Amino acid sequence: MKSLKYLMSSISLVVLSFLAIAQSSAQIVWLDELDLSSATQGYGTPRKNKTVDGKTMTIAGKTFERGFGTHATSQLTIILNGNAKSFSAMVGIDDEVKGQKPAAEFVVIGDGKRLWSSGIMQVGDEAKLCKVNLVGIKRLELVVTDGGNGDYYDHVNWAGAKFEAIRGNTFKTYNPIASTPYILTPKPAAFPKFTGAKVFGVRPGSPFQHRVTATGERPLNFAAVNLPKGLKMDAKTGLITGMLTQKGTYLVTLKAKNAKGMAERKFKITCGDRIALTPPMGWNSWNCFAHEVSADKIKRAADAMVKSGLINHGWTYINIDDFWQNNRDSKNPDLQGKFRDDAGNIITNKRFPDMKGLADYVHNLGLKIGLYSSPGPWTCGGCAGSYGYEKNDAESYAKWGFDYLKYDWCSYGNVIDGLPDHDPYKVSSLSYKGGEKLNTAIKPFQMMGDYLRAQPRDIVFSLCQYGMSDVWKWGDAVYGSAWRTTNDITDTWASVKSIALAQDQAAPYAKPGNWNDPDMLVVGQVGWGNPHPSKLKPDEQYLHISLWSMFAAPLLIGCDMEKLDDFTLNLLTNDEVIEINQDPLGKQGVCLQTIGDLRIYVKALEDGGKAIGFCNFGTEPVDMNYADFVKLGLKGHFTVRDLWRQKQISTVDTKTSKIKLKVPAHGVLLYKFSNTQRY
Ligand code: GAL
């Protein structure tokens, strides 16, 4: 009996302690047990138990087996529903970026309130303990922001991150931004309608090539009344060719006719010093093919521009980026060979056997063609650059028949500082605000600008030195048509957002012939040689295209043109949105009002109207009545048109009206306000 009692109590003890152990271990939920794939971050993909580069997490020499490796700007949302007691982690920047200058801040947000922050951390700082009480918290956000010096090399770890749970693991991570694509752009009507630029600039004596474009049922017949002498139009294609020898402005009436009727539009040709009077529109190989570009891929992209119908919406340039030249380091025989001939002329690599033939091919489709180089000895990809051979190169481009040059910076910093030229990226963060070094930074662009000008054809000159030395202040003086304002874009929300937020400072310098360039579009199948659908959510893509249109930015598609899906085509063929970008006044839209995460951008238009973008940068939808019209520079009676939906939505009296704004998280409403009566 005694032994039975003993046995019973031992069993119950065992059961109890087993339960206790089970219960206490069930109460710990490691962050890496959750699905982390919904995290958004500035670079790479979210990693479990590894750094963003896939290595063992190490902070100030201490290694960690578990945790979440990510990259600023990073955000992970976890639904706790009040089932967590606490969260703890050791946070810090990973040693794998030693030698760089990353800086980041870890922030924990619970139900919209900041619960904890690490302060700015640098590489080499010991891991900081983050311990946060979560009782009652329903929604938790683990955020890592950039520490104020750009989010480069911000490889950050939530090491040993875990929850104390009240009732086991019921936690769910999720991305609060909707992920189902939806199409807003209506199909073009059968009746003819002109699209694309309403003005075109050419220099006297340069070959003229401009294709007038329209939508509508085919066949379409084009005509141009009052076309100046020296030019002719192909009635079938709308292509205007020829040459003007005298400076002057010519007002032409365009006509497009099909079985359904006829459309008319005024078109202004300015023969003078300025070209690219509206932001260039086209495609560039980099975001899609990177180092794998070839003449064949360029031809296919050009064919797809025609086949997809994009050509009918004003898309024009087919630009070859880096890797048409021979390469210094590549083991691939296609990219190996002499860099220049004995006369100093650049030699193309084996993938580009006939540059002139390629340019002719693209021109024959009614499109234009561009290419890329760098003022240093090497391009960013380690191909032959133009240093010392600028004149030869400008002449080669013209001889081949190119219309556009993207001119980078890589390895020129080394030239300035007399450094060995083997590291193209070295000192690429140089930024001179004045003095002799500023002149040195301008010099290579001045030189190439002058040589391009001296060619007997118009070549759009696009500077790609990431906005250093306030390029927008001197880009025009070196005959730049466009200049990058920021570093390279990637298909992440963090990248698009940080680039978008950096545009306003250069806005006053945008004008016909001079465009601030926030880099290429990251919609469709992108991937820098590693193709995948853009990681931007549908609303983020609408916001991206809307903002780039509002910025009067060059619009260069970066995706695989042969894999355009309906959603991407809907983004790229909305003529009312494109019209905002191509507006002849050439003003860049700026943010005039901020309400929480809602930023309201305004772009003045040639017809007196205003394009207004209600842009939601936050993770919650905006739902509000808006009446602050005066802040946006609007006074009087207006009609309001929704440009994505191509629909009139209301009229506004700025003294009395309110409009309802429902803007999805990371999304946009893009409206045009047209004045019908002033006060
Ligand atoms: C970068 C440039 C990219 C691409 C690349 C080619 O500097 O920003 O857009 O052109 O070089 O190597």
Q: 3 φ, ψ to 5°? A: -70, -35
What domains does the chain contain, in order, with CATH numbers? 28-174 (2.60.120.1060), 193-271 (2.60.40.10), 281-583 (3.20.20.70), 591-677 (2.60.40.1180)
Q: Which atom of ligand 1 sits closest to the CA of residue 321?
A: 10
Q: Which residue has the tokens 């874009």?
A: 489
Q: Is residue 10 scored above 60 in pLDDT?
A: no
More confident residue, 2 or 626: 626
- Mean pLDDT of all residues in 458-471: 94
519 CA closest ligand 1 atom index: 9
What distance in Å separates the CA atoms of residue 441 and residue 374, rounded to the nearest whole number?
13
Q: Which two tokens stand for residue 3?
A: 């032994």
Distance CA 206, CA 209 (A): 9
Complete edge-to-edge strand list for the sheet that includes strand 317-319? 515-517, 482-484, 460-463, 404-407, 368-373, 317-319, 281-284, 555-557
Q: Whose CA is nearest to atom 11 of ligand 1?
A: 380
Q: How far apart are CA 590 and CA 506, in angstroms?
A: 10
Closest CA to 492 of 467, 463, 528, 529: 528
Q: What is the pLDDT of residues 69-112, one digit of tens each?
A: 999 999 999 999 999 999 999 999 999 999 999 999 999 999 99
CA of 520, closest atom in ligand 1: 9
Residue 297 near residue 285 (C-beta atoms within 8 A):
yes
The DSSP H or E segment spanning 69 is strand 67-71
How many angstroms separate the alpha carbon of residue 373 from the centre of ligand 1? 9
Q: Which residues participate in catalysis according to the annotation?
A: 408, 488
- Nearest partner of 85 among 15, 128, 29, 46, judged by Cα: 29
| pLDDT confidence band for 430 (50 / 70 / 90) | low
Pocket test for ligand 1, best of 335, 408, 427, 528 (most atoms within 8 A of CB): 408
- Rounded CA gap, 526 and 561, in Å? 10
Give nearest CA residue, ligand 1 atom 2. Answer: 488
Mean per-residue pLDDT, 60-74 = 97
Contact 483, 517 (CB under 8 A): yes
SS3 for 82-124, per residue?
CCEEEEEEEEEECHHHCCCCCEEEEEEEECCEEEEEEEEEECC
Q: Is the pLDDT of residue 188 over 70?
A: yes
Q: Say if residue 219 is preceded by a cis peptide, omega within 30 of 0.
A: yes
CA-CA distance, 193 to 211, in Å (whole number)? 14
At residue 472, does pLDDT exceed 80? yes
The minimum-distance atom of ligand 1 relative to the CA of 409 is 7
Lowest mean pLDDT among 25-34, 124-133, 429-438: 429-438
What's the 542 CA to ligand 1 centre distance in angstroms? 25
pLDDT in tens, 306-354: 999 999 999 999 999 999 999 999 999 999 999 999 999 999 999 999 9
How far does residue 378's CA lie from ligand 1's centre (Å)?
Answer: 12
Nearest to 305 by CA among 351, 235, 361: 361
Residue 342 corresponds to which tokens in the numbers above? 């004995």
Those residues with Cβ within 8 angstroms of residue 180's Cβ, 6 or more apart along the chain or in another chain: 538
To the question of pTM greater than 0.85 for the whole model, the response is yes
First to last CA, the chain: 102
Average pLDDT over residues 604-615: 98
- Ligand 1, atom 7, lies closest to the CA of 380
pLDDT at 429: 47
- Which ligand 1 atom is the nearest neighbour of the CA of 381? 12
408 Cα to the center of ligand 1, angstroms:
7
pLDDT in tens, 473-498: 999 999 999 999 998 999 999 899 99
Query: For ligand 1, atom 4, which residue shows the shortest CA distance?
Result: 286
Measure 380 CA to ligand 1 centroid, in angstroms.
6
Instruction: Quote the pLDDT of residue 677.
Output: 85
Residues 346-380 pLDDT 10s? 999 999 999 999 999 999 999 999 999 999 999 99
pLDDT, position 18: 44
Q: How far apart are CA 598 and CA 546, in angstroms?
A: 14
* Distance of alpha carbon 442 from alpha carbon 448, whole angstroms: 10
Residue 304 has pLDDT above 80, yes or no: yes
Ligand 1 interacting residues, C-beta cut-off 6 A: 286, 321-322, 372, 379-381, 408, 410, 464, 488
Contact 190, 48 (CB under 8 A): no
**How far is the centre of ligand 1, averaged over its atoms, from the C-alpha of 370 (Å)?**
14
The single-letter DSSP state of residue 561 is: G
**What pLDDT, on the 0 to 100 scale, is given for residue 16?**
47
> Is the Cβ–Cβ distance between 389 and 340 less than 8 Å?
yes
> Scanning the structure block, which residue is given the tokens 């995290």?
39
**Which pLDDT band, with edges at 50, 70 and 90, does 167 fall under?**
confident
8 Å CB contact between 66 and 49: yes
Average pLDDT in the chain = 93
